[in-house]
Structure 1
Amino acid sequence: MAAPAVEGAAVAALRSVMFRVRQAAERSGHVSERVRVVAVSKTKPVSLIRQVYDAGHRCFGENYVQEILEKAPQLPEDIEWHYIGHLQSNKVKLLLSGVPNLAMVEGVDNEKIANHLDRAVSSLGRNPLKVFVQVNTSGEASKSGIDPSGCVELVKHVKLQCSNLEFSGLMTIGMPDYSSTPENFKMLSNCRTEVCKALGMVEEQCELSMGMSGDFELAIILKALQLVKMHFDTQEGRRYHQKDLATDNGTF
């Protein structure tokens, strides 16, 4: 009898997050419709994902290849799957071939993985794949992501050398205790400014993915956030982190 209660709590958490997004957007003058929420469902059962799907949510994220390969075929095809965090090059083709509705890879942090993705998309005959470049704004060795100083060159490579990839934006995560959150967010925003200047893009063409359940409102207030990954947990305020996960911030 416990399962329905847990599932109900996950849906309630989703609605709470959406409400907080709207409130933060109103306070900052940001357009709430521009803020997208990705529910990271790693380690959670298909039945729980289905409950949140039935509540109207369509954007989900995973960061384990085997897990998304098992879940995706059991769920509706109109789900927009995001693969989040570091992706091993030897698993690229497996991921792309096994999840036809994979909409985005967040976690491109070097030219090698960009090249592997580009070739796999081409060989599989897929439409161009959206990607986010991951930037390590906190300077932690345990986190994946390119150094901010190399961000522009990596984006140039993706845009100019990887015709089967669609550069969509930048992604980062701050310190686990939120101690450097404002600085991390501002640094990523500065990276966007540099990227747009170097490549002749307008900022609307470069989304920012940052913020967790404890700090996404600050990102919205800074008017820098377009995509947030939320931690939906049945225990209020609880969070999880993985040493190599740049966006472990959206778990049910």
Structure 2
Amino acid sequence: MSAGNPSQVATALKSVLERVAAAAQRSSRNHQPRLVAISKTKPVEAIQEAYEAGHRTFGENYVQEIVEKAPKLPSDISWHFVGHLQSNKAKTLLDGVPNLAFLETVDTEKLANKLDSTVEQLGRPPLPVFVQVNTSGEESKYGVEPAACTPLARHIKEKCAHLRFAGLMTIGQPDYSSRPENFQCLEACREEVCKELGLATEDVELSMGMSGDFEQAIEMGSTNVRVGSTIFGARDYSKK
């Protein structure tokens, strides 16, 4: 594809990256957020188009999808897993995606322990993980209650030698559109975690913000935004 005729994916990606940079400039926080291009239900060809446009960080929600796609794409991609993970699928995920860079959805000690033992078994380097927090209190959402995020973070940090506690993640309000209080809640969770575990704020990431609200999330301190449909177009869930 010639530079003079960029694909729709490349054009949309460029626009989103510009919006990310502008939001970071507006923010009072001194950080450059990471853009995770969420490619669930999208074909390998669409991911390849974004890759050829220079992007290297992608995310998937389903184990079956990521283990099918990852081997067909360049090995220098940094994959994020952002969906709910059952502990019995941990080995399938870690074994099938050697270049998994982050797992953003740890919400139980059981899952943390399974990931820890699997990483050790496979001889992988320590895996960065986020604790998923249910900031909206919805029964339909996964994640620990805000009061439980510090104990889980402590467990990962102190009991899981093959994981690296890297931050906190939230999905937010229904239909993937968050309100400020969801972001404020996650930031408050980070303050508590840092205080209790003796961590520096800049060493604990906040993964919050999606297609509908990533700019607001960045302005409120997000270091990791997850944008899918704005880059790749509407999803076809019949193909998940």
Structures share a fold, TM > 0.5?
A: yes
Q: 1:115 to 1:16 in 2, by over 3 A?
A: same
Q: Which residue of 2 aligns with 1:195?
A: 193
1:86 offset after TM fit, Å? Answer: 1.0
Q: Which residue of 2 aligns with 1:250?
A: none
- Where 1:167 maps in the other structure, the secondary structure is strand
Write out aligned runs for 1:103-252 (5 A): 103-176=101-174, 181-222=179-220, 224-233=221-230
Q: Which residue of 2 aligns with 1:95?
A: 93
The one-letter code sitting in structure 2 at the alignment partner of 1:159 is K
Q: 1:134 to 1:234 in 2, by over 3 A?
A: closer
Q: Which residue of 1 aligns with 2:59?
A: 61
The one-letter code sitting in structure 2 at the alignment partner of 1:129 is L
- Where 1:204 maps in the other structure, the secondary structure is helix
CA offsets per residue over residues 6-45 of structure 1, 9 Å max, x none?
x82221111111111111122224445x200000111111
Q: What is the total number of aligned residue pairs between the two structures?
A: 233
CA offsets per residue over residues 94-132 of structure 1, 9 Å max, x none?
111111111111100010000000000001110000100
Distance 1:239 1:162 in 2: 36
Whether the 8 Å CA contact 2:41–2:236 is kept in 1: the answer is no
Runs of 5+ consecutive residues of structure 1 not aligned to the other structure: 242-252
Distance 2:176 2:231 in 1: 21
4+ aligned runs moved over 6 Å, structure 1:
none
Indicate yes or no: 2:23 matched with 1:24. Answer: yes
Whether the 8 Å CA contact 1:60–1:79 is kept in 2: the answer is yes
CA offsets per residue over residues 154-181 of structure 1, 9 Å max, x none?
0000000000000000000111357751
Whether the 8 Å CA contact 1:108–1:132 is kept in 2: the answer is yes
Q: Which residue of 2 aligns with 1:8?
A: 7
Distance 1:175 1:152 in 2: 22
Whether the 8 Å CA contact 1:40–1:229 is kept in 2: the answer is yes
Distance 1:234 1:162 in 2: 35
Q: TM-score, normalised by structure 1?
A: 0.87
Q: Which residue of 2 aligns with 1:51?
A: 49
Distance 1:76 1:221 in 2: 32
Whether the 8 Å CA contact 1:10–1:233 is kept in 2: the answer is no
Identity of aligned residues (%): 58
Q: 1:234 to 1:134 in 2, by over 3 A?
A: closer
Q: 1:11 to 1:153 in 2, by over 3 A?
A: same
The one-letter code sitting in structure 2 at the alignment partner of 1:18 is L
The one-letter code sitting in structure 1 at the alignment partner of 2:115 is L
Q: TM-score, normalised by structure 2?
A: 0.91
1:67 offset after TM fit, Å? Answer: 1.0
1:35 is aligned, of 21, 25, 33, to 33
Distance 1:115 1:234 in 2: 35
Q: Which moves more between the two structures, 169-178 or 63-72?
A: 169-178
2:81 is aligned, of 80, 83, 86, to 83
CA RMSD for the aligned pairs? 2.0
